Each structure stands twice: as C-alpha cells, then as structure tokens.
Structure 1
Amino acid sequence: MPSRSAHPHALPRTAAVVAAALAAGLLSAGSADAAPVRIHDIQGTTRLSPLDGQQVSEVEGIVTGVRAYGARGFWIQDAQPDTDPATSEGVFVFTGSAPTVKTGDAVRVSGTVTEYVPGGANSGNQSLTQITKPTVTVVSAGNELPAAVTIEGRKVPAAYAPEGDPAEGNSINRLPLHPRSYALDYYESLEGMNVAIGTSRVVGATDPYNELWVTVKPWENPTHRGGARYGSYTSQNTGRLQIQQLTPISESPFPKADVGDRLTGRTEGPLDFNQFGGYTLTARTLGTVEDRDLPRERTRRQDRDDLAVATYNVENLDPKDPQAKFDALAQAVVENLASPDILALEEIQDDNGATNDGTVAAGETLRKFTEAIKAAGGPAYEWRSIDPENNKDGGEPGGNIRQAFLFNPARVSFTDRPGGDATTATAVVRHKGRAALTLSPGRIDPANPAWENSRKPLAGEFSFRGRPVIVIANHFGSKGGDESLTSHHQPPVRSSEAKRIEQARAVNGFVKDVLKVQRGADVLVVGDINDFEFSATTKALTDGGALEAAITSLPRAERYSYVYQGNSQVLDQILTSPSIDDYSYDSVHINAEFAEQNSDHDPQVLRFEP
C-alpha cells in the first residue's frame, strides 16, 4: 500500500538503480553516487524505455490522474522537465488495485520499468511505458499540477509516421523520436503527460464503451457532414484523438455525441495509449458537447423506370432481438431508403440467433423483418436466400449469418431456378440469347478456399420490366487481425487483406463469365465488402474493367459508409458492370455517424434504368 509522509526525505540509491543508470548512460563508472532517475530518463528518446526491465527507486512526480477502474493505476509527471522535446515527462504507474493516491499528490515511486503491449505482442500495437509493482511514498498533497501541453492542429505534423526500420521487421520502436516531423512521434513524446485540447469537432460518435473521437485539425479531409474522411492509406488524419474520462461512469455519465457535434471548452488529462484507439486523452476535465443536430439522410424515391437496388448490413439480426430493432430497421428501409425494389441484406442470423444447436434456417428472421417493413408502410417484400452449413460461414458461433434478397413483387420479379444449396455452385449459361444462372438463388464457387469460414456470395436473377438483372450479394471477410494505424509496424500489417483479395478474384471471375456469355448483361455486385474503394480488394473486383466501384462517382467528401476510430471510410459498396453506365448513387448516412444506431453500417442505394 502507498505510504503517506508529511515531509520530503532522501533515501540512498540502491545498487540496482546504479546499475540501471550505468546501463542507460546516466552516469559514468567512476561516479560516487547515482544520479536521480527521472521520468524523462525512463521514457527515453525512442518508444522503448532504456530502463525496460530494470528496477528504479524514488522516481519523483506529481499525480496528474487516477484511474480506479479497468487498468488501475495513476499517472505522474515530473515538475522539472528537461529540454529535449522527444522525452516525455509523464509515466503511468500500474497498481492493479484501486490507487490510494490523489491528484495533486507529490510522490516518489519505486518499482520495475516495463513496456506493456495492449492486446499482446501479436497485436502489433505499440507499447505503453509504465512502472509496475510499485512502492509509493506520498510526500505532500494538494500540489499544483504541471501545466498541460495544449494539443493544437498546428503543432501536430502532417506526416503520420516514419517508415519502419527493415532491420527491425519494419518496426519504429527503436527509431529516435522526431516529434516535429511525425504525428505518432509527437503523441509518443507526450505519452503519460498532462495534455489538453480546446473546442474540437467530433469525428467519431460516442460508442458503447463511453469514448468518442475528435479532431484538432478541422481542415483535415472533412466530410460534408463533419467527419474526417479516410481516403487513402497515407491519409490517416493526424488530428484524430480518442477521448475517455477518468471519472467512473457511475459517478459521471459520459456525454452522447454524434459526428459533427463539438466538444466545447477545455478537455484536460493524461495522454494514455490503449488497445482500442491508441493515443487517448483520459480526461480529468471534460468539455461539454454542443449538439449540432446532424440529420439522418433520406434518399429520393426511384422514378417509375428506375430500378433501385440497395445493400444493408443489419448487424446480426435474429428473432431474439427486440421488436424495436426490427421496427427501426424497417422504418429506415421505408423512410430513409425509399423502399428499394431489391434489397440485399448482410448479417441475417438463423432463427435462434447465436444459440449453437445446429439450427441454420432463417425463415423466422426474414418473416419478422418483412412484416415489420409492411407495418411501417412499406411493400410486402418477398425474400430469397440459401441456408449455410452449420458454423461454416463465420460470424458468431451458432448465428450462421448469411446474405438474403428482399424484393418488391409489385415492381420486380425473381427468376427461380431451383437446386441451389450451401455447397452447390451456380454457373452461367446462355438462355434465349442472354446470360442466365443455372441456380437462382445460388452460391458462387462455395468450395473455393477463399470462402473458408466466410460468407459465400449469393447470386440471384431478377427481371425488371422484362429486362434481366443479375445481383450478387456479398459479405467479404472482416478486417479482424489487421494491425491498427498506430501499430509499431509502419506501414501496419493488413493480414486479413489476402483473403478478401482472393474472394474478390472469385467474384470478378464469375462476373467475367457472365460478360463472356452476354457482353451487355446488367450485373450488380453489392454488399459489405469490408474494404476501401482504393484497396487491393476493390482493384481485384474491378480487374479487367468487369466492374466499376459506383461509390467513386460521389464527391470525395461523401465517400464513406462506416466510421472507425474517427475515420469515415468505405466498407459497403455497389459495383456495376459496363452496361450500367448511367446511374445515381447514394450512401445513405443513418447509422455510422450516430451514438444511437440500429446498425454500425450505412446502407447504399443505386438507381438505374435497365
């Protein structure tokens, strides 16, 4: 337990501290006494402490923040900083149990310097320098805190990170910090220190974990609705910063904020580094959210001669979900999507959700959803889908997520060609001079290793005003396993991309088969592609001109369907065959930018005249 003392006192340096100081170059072998180890000595001028694994004694600092939940501990900061901008003057002291120190205490801490990697070494995350197994002496209380470093847009470099050192496996861990050159180096140079921001725009809505994202660079890749668009692998948006609070939620509820709102006033506290977002301002003092009343978008209704095709990831929908979720999703289909003629759904779960008992049918899920749409004033949609093999398509174990087609029979008909099941592949043949599917609905190449433990594409043939249209509904493999933008590998490793590229090649090859049979066939590839419009996955989908990513027809500031860590980005797409060269496209922003959402994805709608 930390001890409290009314008067400062000096203790003799231990042999271990002397050895550590010698190893770190803090004193020479002929020194009679060890120089005091200060926080900037622990932090050093790279991401890794020169004292990692060493014991330190009587490290002095002022407590700038106490966290009594989660990773329990407190931050201390040296009131006598050095002049090197690369060395942080703050450090986290991990206690494991609720700390007994208070903000403003002057303390001396003895313990072990460690580099803790949130998420584990295999995550690729940078590490957090901390002192563990501490013994704490409180010297005095009620001290003035070290002045906060104000993080302003003009101070944060435009370049995100240096290239990793090839000799270190592309890691930046051992590279000297250049806080005036790279944003990640700038934030690392402030790790553990008392920092502050002024009024800032929210670019990532409050999430279920009580955190939000702001930008200190309002000019940086803004979307037309207040977000920060992620438009390339080198446009990481350096002004983004995650905001949490030190006060437990039970004592002070975290504010609800949507993208485009403003966090006004001063937000101040220690700069942490965590697994889910990297550099995070853990606020002792939290600004006030100014609601800018962001509207949920509504697309226009299709003209009489236009076919409206939409895609919507409904986030693990199953009959056990509250009726309110079904009703809200249904209302969005009717009011925000204007009741599209064809609606491809992703993440439809089986009839008992994540109960892992072998159930694979989803008729009850789809019945409940279509009835909710009708009750909301929409059409009496019919549906087509194929049940997967149990636990073979990824997602929650027992959930058996799959894609499904809804269609309005008053506007469009489905061409049924029976025989499709979980393992039988549909093919393309010529029928009456046009390309036709042998199985409709049918799965594309389900035995291909690219679809192992992943959703297989669902192909269906429709007819609109006598004109056939082939729609392929997709839900490509997730980005799970990819390293974060703040990884110590730069550029970060995108390990999940390889599988999506293979999936894209399979779909692209199928579309090319269709176009070989009928050059002018109308084909739409839709769904949760789980990748960006500039990604290698999209390049593989569009290879050879077989498809065009329709979202690229939008102005750049409107190209997004998902918000992740304050970056507005594309995951959901509709791609068109060459014959569909005159269309209107809409990414309908109703979820991703909001704290209250019915799905984490925004639906996409394309209208064209077949």
Structure 2
Amino acid sequence: MRTDRVRQLAAVFLVTVSLAAAQSAFAQKEYGIALIQGKGNISPKVREVVRVTGIVTARTRTGFFIQTPDDKTDNDPATSEGIFVFTRSEPKGEAAVGNMVSVTGTVTEFTPRAEPFSLSITEISMQDGRDMIQVLSKGNELPKPIVVGADVFKANNIDDMERLEGMRVVVSELLVTAPTGGRVDTANETVASNGTFYGVVKGLRRPFREPGYDLYEYIFLNDKQKGDLKKNFPQLKLWDANPERLRIESTAQLGSQPIDVPALTELKNVTGVVHYSYRTYSILLDPGTRPAVAGYQSQVNLPVANPNEFTIAGSNIENFFDDEDDPDIKEEIVTTSAFEKRLKKISNAFRTIMKSPDIVGTMEIENQKALQRLCDKINADTAASGKPDPKYQAIVLKGNDGRGINVGLMIRSTRVKVVETIQIGKDEKFNPPGGSEDAFLNDRPSLAARLEVSGPQGKAFPVTVIVNHLKSFLGYYDEKRQDAVRMKKRLQSEMIARFIQQRQKADPSERIVLVGDFNAFQFNDGVVDVIGAIKGKPAAKGEVMNPSDDLVDPDLTNLVDLINPMQQYSYCFDGNAQVLDHVLVNSAMMPFAVGLGYGRVNADFPESFRADGDRPERYSDHDPAVAYFSFEAAPPSK
C-alpha cells in the first residue's frame, strides 16, 4: 500500500510540474519576429525568454525556421521577419513545414566556436523541460520568398543580408562561382558530396581575392589594436571579403539531396531560407524545388605548343600517395584499384588538357617511385594512342614534411636532359615565436634543376627550373600560431629570393623559371608579401605587417600578371577565385616567354568528379599552370 501511495503521489507531482512548465512557457510575453531581430546585427531582446509565433518554413538537423505570415509583417524592410529556432537535435513533429506554431525560448546571438570572429546569428534557443512548441494551425501557405537581386549588395557591406536573415528568398538567376565540395576518402578514391557551393546574383562579376588585409580579421580587433595597425602600417589596405558571395547549401534542409555543379553554371529560381556560416550568408535550399540549370561549365584545354616552343608547367596533384607502404612516413595507404584509377585520371588530364608539357613541377608527391609510376602510365597511354612515347622520367628528393609529401619534377626525356639537381634549404632551421628552436624552415624544400631542352635543330636550350611548395595558410589568423606561421612564410620567401640572387650574380645570363604552389597571392595580403619578396618587388614597410627587404636585382616577372584578369586564378576558397600557383621568370628568361595558361580541369569542378576515373576533371583542387616559351628571343620592344 505504501508503494502504491508513493506512485500515486509521484504521478500527481509529475503532472503538476508539466502543467507548471507549460504555463510558465506560454506565460511569456509574445514578441513579433521583426522586433526580436531588430534593425541591427544584435537583437534588442538578446538573453530574454520570449514567446514568438510564425509559420515553419524549413527544418534542419538542429532546429527549424519560422517566419511571420505575409499579412502580419511590420512592413519595415530593415527588419527580418524570419528566425531560426535552435533545438539541438532534429525538431519534433509539431515543427512541420507549413504549421503555424507558437514557440518559447531564449533569444541568443550564436557564433560558431570554429569561427569566433564572424557575424552572429540571432536565434531562439529552446531548453528541454522549459520551452514548448504549440501548433496553432496546419497546412499554411508559406510566406512568399523575397527576390534577392544585385541591388541587395549595392552598399558592399559584410552584413548586407542581415535584414533577410531567417527569411525565405529566391535568386532568379544565380552564377555559380565555386563548385560543390565534398569529403574525399583518399584510400578508396571515393567522395561524399557535401552539397555546398557558392554563387552570386547574375549580373555581378565573379568574386576574386583582392589585395589587402581581410576585413573580417580587422573588424573584430579592439580599438587599441586597430589604432596600432593604423600607426605602424599607414598604407595597409583592407580587402572587403566580397560580401556579394552567397553560400548555397543544398543538403541543409531535411529531406534534401546534394546538387553537384561546376563553377560558371547558371541556375534559375534558387529558393530557400537565409542563414549564415563560414563568414558568408547562406541559402538553405528548399528540398522540393531544385533549381533549373541554364548553363554548364566544361573543362578548358590548353593549346599545343608549336615546334619552335616548349612548355614548363606546375601542378599540385594533391595527396598523391600510392598503394605501397613507405616505411619512412605514416601515410594512408591507397588501395591498388584506387591508385590505378587515379593514375588513369591524371594521365588523361596531363595528355588532353595540359598537352603533355616538356617539364612539369609537381607538388604533394609521396616519393619518386609513386611519381615514376605516373610517368609510366602517361608514357604507356600516349603510345597506346598512336603518339610518340614522351618517356617521362621522375625526380623526387625527400624533404621534412610530417605527412610525407614532397615536390618533384617530371621531364620528357626525349627532349629534356637533366644536368644537375639541387635541394634548397632542406636543413635550414628557424626559431619561431613560442616554438622549437630546431624547427625546420622548409617542410617541402624547393627543388632546383639545371636542364637542357632540345630545340628544333637539336640545339640545347639551358634553363633552370625551381619547383616550390611553400607554407600553407593554416594557422595564418590563429592567435596562438599566427606569429610563427607568418614568420615562416616570410623567411621562406626571402630564402628563395637570396638563392635566385646568388644565381643571377654568379651568372647573369642564367635563365630561371619558378613554378609551384606558393600558397600566396600575386599581391600582398597585408600580412606578408611572399611573391613580392621572391620577384624583387616587396611591398613597402607601411603596407604589410611582416615586410621583407628587396633582395633580388634584376627583378623577376610573374607571368600571372600578364594574362586576362578574369583568368587569374588557380584555386577556389570559400567562393573566392585566387592564384596560389604561379610561374615567375627572371630577366634572362623573359624574352623567351610566349604566354601562360591554366588548364581548367580542377578548381571549377565539383569534388564528386574526383571519383570518376573516366574523366579528367578534379584530379586535384588546383588548376595546373602551363607556361609557353620560344627557343628564339623576342626582339626588344622599341
């Protein structure tokens, strides 16, 4: 009897608590969504527990969106009528699309832990046991999407889309500016699409990385830090971060399927809700309305060099590991079938897109054996097609990289002879701030090769090619690591500059060509001027935080600077086209330069293409650069 009485009391107590929670939740004062969103980036009701009503417009893995019905809005274009309700896990059935619901929760300004220096998202955060969802009606027509046109971005501010946060929108015509990404299983050469790509409203130009310090890094500095920057670097430019970029997430809403598209594809009627992630306003596509494809980008082949020309290329092949265990490194061993598929794919690209360059500097290579297997595959495929065997040969000198990737060189031995190879700075050390005094300066030491290219009449054309893969941007803006990373990038560029100057001073007639992934832009980024230091035109001390002295004379020329500005990219990052892969020549070689082109086979294409061994696209994430040179010097300009 005593036990039964306890159970009865417990049941009454639980019912009482539940009723009390419900009464507490729905006793909150109700606010309109627009009032909660406010006219600025931060809600005027932040940290308040509120009740809000709206139509459910979208569901995600961690919450749902609600929006004020069209006939209930405040008619103020400066305030958003939509908001995200954070539930931590998949929302309950009451939050079905089309339901009019009343929701309680705490107004929060959410900033992702991985992106602390970014704009915040105004949310209603629900707490289990306190907050509730009440269905008021079902099957409601969704609010009409707001048309997003070029005028939305006229002010060119990073928060131009704030007034549409959480609302349904439609882009009538969207130009894809960066392809759909994905997660690569290197061992098996398979890909899981993430369904995310970038675009701009049609009529706006493709976004490019431009000179200057990233605006996002600047705006979150405190007043003293900003004052110090202005005082110490008065010529420091700011890059606006291209706020016109839109991040399109095709799999964010529940029930969606990924959309895999290349850059420069045109999409019509892109419809969804506005969210924010990775410092970019996003549109989470409605699952039932796939945009119509109006245009499609295909690969762009480079021209064949004429008999009086030869070509020098650079290609970051990206994680080129073979199916054998290298005892010197801890690599992920690729399956034999996956490696053979990759060899087939890269061979296809080198032969059809790049037109089998005479000299190819390669990056992210496991070892010489792996690169020679690629050479053998290209040789065999070329012969099988009825063309002369180029007899490519590989050269790889191992460096210091923790992942075991190195730079390498491929030469057409039927036309190119190796005279000498030099590994630059393998044992050079530096003392990074807060780090080890014995840190290697060069994880992937540059490889210099003195070569002779056979001309039309068999006359040897001497040229020195330097293959580079410099420090990446990883840690560049990390408060704990940035000083060491920036120092390393500066010192690497200065080391290469000194090497070039030594060569030029010893023999002013030596023809020098630098290729590779420099992990730097063709201009300064306000932090370091890697390319400027290497070519002998470093940014002024008031323009960059880590300036370099002028170490090279005569200066080098970056061939990238001479091509069409709209073609000045080899990589896409967060929707911005940018150059990381350069070809620089010294003054002795410049009279022989004919042109430069990028094989459009990787950067513009979705990651899902990598898994298809029958097509050349996406063998890497970098486009290969191919420079054309004549055996005869051009006459001097008048």
| Fold match (TM-score > 0.5) | yes
In structure 1, distance between residues paired with 2:24 and 2:532: 65
1:307 counterpart = 2:310:
yes
1:555 alignment partner in structure 2: 564
Change (3 A) 1:66 1:602: same
1:279 alignment partner in structure 2: 281
SS of structure 1 residue aligned to 2:271: strand
Unaligned runs of 5+ in 2: 1-21, 183-193, 213-238, 323-333, 383-388, 433-439, 455-459, 537-551, 610-617, 632-638
Question: What amino acid sits opposite 1:587 in the alignment?
Answer: Y
2:74 alignment partner in structure 1: 82
Change (3 A) 1:157 1:11: farther
In structure 2, distance between residues paired with 1:332 and 1:388: 27
**Which of 270, 276, 290 is the aligned partner of 2:273?**
270
Higher helix share: 2
Q: Any conservation in 2 of the 1:81–1:89 contact (CA below 8 Å)?
A: yes
Aligned residues with identical type, % of pairs:
27
The superposition leaves residues 179-231 of structure 1 with CA deviations (integer Å, 9 ceiling, x where unpaired) of xxx2x2221221112221112222222222111222104242x5xxxxx4444
The superposition leaves residues 422-449 of structure 1 with CA deviations (integer Å, 9 ceiling, x where unpaired) of xxxxxxxxxxxxxxxxxx2312364143
**Which of 236, 259, 262 is the aligned partner of 1:255?**
259
Change (3 A) 1:603 1:142: same
Q: Any conservation in 1 of the 2:180–2:261 contact (CA below 8 Å)?
A: yes
In structure 2, distance between residues paired with 1:37 and 1:494: 47
1:474 alignment partner in structure 2: 468
Deviation of the 1:140 alpha carbon: 1.6
2:396 alignment partner in structure 1: 385
2:445 alignment partner in structure 1: 456
1:207 alignment partner in structure 2: 181
Deviation of the 1:575 alpha carbon: 0.7
In structure 1, distance between residues paired with 2:425 and 2:628: 25
Change (3 A) 1:248 1:76: closer
Q: Any conservation in 1 of the 2:98–2:142 contact (CA below 8 Å)?
A: yes
SS of structure 2 residue aligned to 1:376: helix
The superposition leaves residues 376-420 of structure 1 with CA deviations (integer Å, 9 ceiling, x where unpaired) of 20522112121124xxx25xxxx311100111111111123xxxx
1:21 alignment partner in structure 2: none
How many residue pairs get aligned? The number is 496
Deviation of the 1:497 alpha carbon: 5.2
Deviation of the 1:147 alpha carbon: 2.5
The superposition leaves residues 312-343 of structure 1 with CA deviations (integer Å, 9 ceiling, x where unpaired) of 01110111243111111112112211211111
2:405 alignment partner in structure 1: 401
Q: Any conservation in 2 of the 1:507–1:541 contact (CA below 8 Å)?
A: yes
In structure 1, distance between residues paired with 2:442 and 2:88: 38
Deviation of the 1:103 alpha carbon: 1.2
Q: Any conservation in 1 of the 2:582–2:625 contact (CA below 8 Å)?
A: yes
Deviation of the 1:600 alpha carbon: 0.8
In structure 2, distance between residues paired with 1:366 and 1:305: 28
Change (3 A) 1:482 1:291: farther
SS of structure 2 residue aligned to 1:530: coil
1:125 alignment partner in structure 2: 118
1:216 alignment partner in structure 2: 201
**Which of 594, 606, 609 is the aligned partner of 2:627?**
606
Question: What amino acid sits opposite 2:627 in the alignment?
Answer: L
1:166 alignment partner in structure 2: none
Change (3 A) 1:364 1:112: same
Q: Any conservation in 2 of the 1:119–1:125 contact (CA below 8 Å)?
A: no
Q: Any conservation in 2 of the 1:37–1:56 contact (CA below 8 Å)?
A: no
In structure 2, distance between residues paired with 1:537 and 1:87: 44
Deviation of the 1:574 alpha carbon: 0.7
User: For the aligned residues, what is the CA RMSD?
Assistant: 2.8
Deviation of the 1:293 alpha carbon: 4.3
The superposition leaves residues 21-46 of structure 1 with CA deviations (integer Å, 9 ceiling, x where unpaired) of xxxxxxxxxxxxx6x33323332333
Change (3 A) 1:246 1:554: closer
TM alignment of 1:489-568, pairs within 5 A: 499-535=488-524, 536-543=529-536, 544=552, 545-568=554-577
1:95 alignment partner in structure 2: 87
Deviation of the 1:247 alpha carbon: 6.8
**Which of 125, 128, 149 is the aligned partner of 1:152?**
149
Q: Any conservation in 2 of the 1:55–1:110 contact (CA below 8 Å)?
A: no
Question: What amino acid sits opposite 1:279 in the alignment?
Answer: Y
Deviation of the 1:304 alpha carbon: 3.5
1:244 counterpart = 2:244:
no
In structure 1, distance between residues paired with 2:153 and 2:596: 36
Question: What amino acid sits opposite 1:403 in the alignment?
Answer: V
Q: Any conservation in 2 of the 1:217–1:239 contact (CA below 8 Å)?
A: no
In structure 1, distance between residues paired with 2:40 and 2:492: 40
1:585 alignment partner in structure 2: 596
Question: What amino acid sits opposite 1:598 in the alignment?
Answer: Y
Deviation of the 1:507 alpha carbon: 1.1
In structure 2, distance between residues paired with 1:372 and 1:576: 30
Question: What amino acid sits opposite 2:73 in the alignment?
Answer: P
In structure 2, distance between residues paired with 1:194 and 1:540: 48
Q: Any conservation in 2 of the 1:382–1:409 contact (CA below 8 Å)?
A: yes
In structure 2, distance between residues paired with 1:574 and 1:332: 20
311-320 vs 565-574, which moves further: 565-574
The superposition leaves residues 352-388 of structure 1 with CA deviations (integer Å, 9 ceiling, x where unpaired) of xxxxxxxxxx233113211111122052211212112
Deviation of the 1:301 alpha carbon: 2.6
TM alignment of 1:112-191, pairs within 5 A: 112-120=106-114, 123-132=116-125, 133=127, 134-159=131-156, 182=157, 184-191=158-165
SS of structure 2 residue aligned to 1:322: helix
In structure 1, distance between residues paired with 2:305 and 2:486: 35
TM alignment of 1:318-333, pairs within 5 A: 318-319=321-322, 320=334, 321-333=338-350
Deviation of the 1:593 alpha carbon: 0.9
Q: Any conservation in 2 of the 1:512–1:546 contact (CA below 8 Å)?
A: no
Deviation of the 1:137 alpha carbon: 1.7
Deviation of the 1:562 alpha carbon: 1.2
In structure 1, distance between residues paired with 2:365 and 2:419: 22
1:288 counterpart = 2:291:
yes
Question: What amino acid sits opposite 2:284 in the alignment?
Answer: T
SS of structure 1 residue aligned to 2:161: helix
Q: Any conservation in 1 of the 2:148–2:171 contact (CA below 8 Å)?
A: yes
Q: TM-score, normalised by structure 1?
A: 0.75
In structure 2, distance between residues paired with 1:300 and 1:92: 51
1:49 counterpart = 2:43:
yes
Question: What amino acid sits opposite 2:519 in the alignment?
Answer: N
Deviation of the 1:120 alpha carbon: 3.1
Q: Any conservation in 1 of the 2:26–2:104 contact (CA below 8 Å)?
A: no
Q: Any conservation in 1 of the 2:150–2:204 contact (CA below 8 Å)?
A: no
In structure 1, distance between residues paired with 2:289 and 2:270: 5
Deviation of the 1:238 alpha carbon: 4.0
The superposition leaves residues 500-532 of structure 1 with CA deviations (integer Å, 9 ceiling, x where unpaired) of 333222211211111111122211111011222
Unaligned runs of 5+ in 1: 1-9, 18-33, 160-181, 223-227, 350-361, 417-439, 485-492
The superposition leaves residues 57-83 of structure 1 with CA deviations (integer Å, 9 ceiling, x where unpaired) of 32222211111x3xx110112333335
Deviation of the 1:604 alpha carbon: 0.5
Q: Any conservation in 1 of the 2:252–2:284 contact (CA below 8 Å)?
A: no
In structure 2, distance between residues paired with 1:313 and 1:546: 26
SS of structure 2 residue aligned to 1:552: helix
In structure 2, distance between residues paired with 1:57 and 1:76: 14
1:447 alignment partner in structure 2: 428
376-385 vs 459-468, which moves further: 459-468
In structure 1, distance between residues paired with 2:483 and 2:596: 29
